[in-house]
Amino acid sequence: PGTPDAVYASTSRGPNPYNLLKPDLAAPGVEILAAYTRWVSAAPAPFGGAVDVARNPIVNAISGTSMAAPHVAGSLALLRALNRSWTPAQLKSALTTTAKPDLREVDGVTPTTPFATGAGRIDVARASKAGLLLDETGANYLAADPATGGDPSQLNIASFQKLECVGTCTFPRTLKSTRRASVTWTATVQGFAPG
């Protein structure tokens, strides 16, 4: 209790050159109690020699992306169970558009920027109630590959940035309401003051 949501010091950070905000979001990934192989050998890879079971527990506290990624995958699995008709892109949209953005740097005090946390820390309860979803096709993802001349900033996803923005920037996106009844949505923007 009272421990701030803090971003691990070694977390990969943006910006990147493709006008997409990366990372997409943050997830628990520090000192996570996880399954751990007992079959780690002191001998060289690939197969090594004898195993010292006393020095190779079956669980360990591990940190890093390899611990955060299963939290995201599990969150998506839970969302998929609740919303069988949502596409993978819509599921990701629900996680990113409902994430909690108020994370701190490793010192627990300094606020992070979206370049460190993306949309923020995942919150499955909020994501399960997402009111608006963005969707995108696999074909459009392939076409957006910058290695083949594509433009990932044109994807209909929640991630966007414009490093060269002066004055006004636009980011066209199409959203779909998850509500059956007619709803009016009002968009507001919060961000950095013009400077």
Q: Which residues, other chains included, contact 70 with Cβ-Cβ below 8 Å and sequence gap of 6+? A: 34
Quote the pLDDT of residue 21: 86
Q: Quote the CA–CA distance of 79 and 168 in Å, as a whole number.
A: 35
Report how far apart the first and last C-alpha atoms of the chain are (Å, whole number): 37
pLDDT band of 62, cuts 50, 70, 90: confident
The answer to whether residue 4 scores a pLDDT higher than 90 is: no
DSSP assignment letter at 34 = E
Between 115 and 35, where is the model more confident? 115
Contacts 24+ apart (CB under 8 A), 78-85: 78/124, 78/128, 79/124, 79/127, 79/128, 82/128, 83/128
Quote the pLDDT of residue 140: 96
Quote the pLDDT of residue 195: 47
Quote the pLDDT of residue 53: 58
Q: What angle do the packed helices 88-97 and 65-82 form, to 10 degrees?
A: 110
Mean pLDDT, rounded, for 62-76 = 91
Q: Which of 30-34, 115-119, 138-142, 144-148 has the lowest mean pLDDT?
A: 30-34
The answer to whether residue 119 scores a pLDDT higher than 70 is: yes
Between 186 and 54, where is the model more confident? 186
CA distances from 116 to 14, 21, 182 (A): 7, 10, 37
Average pLDDT value for the chain: 85
The answer to whether residue 52 scores a pLDDT higher than 70 is: no
Quote the pLDDT of residue 57: 64
CA atoms within 13 A on the CB side of 195: 3
pLDDT in tens, 70-97: 999 999 999 999 999 999 999 999 999 9
Locate 12 and state its tokens. 């990969």
Mean pLDDT, rounded, for 119-145 = 96
Global pTM value = 0.83
Quote the pLDDT of residue 134: 97
Q: Quote the CA–CA distance of 178 and 85 in Å, as a whole number.
A: 11
H or E segment and range at residue 134: strand 132-134
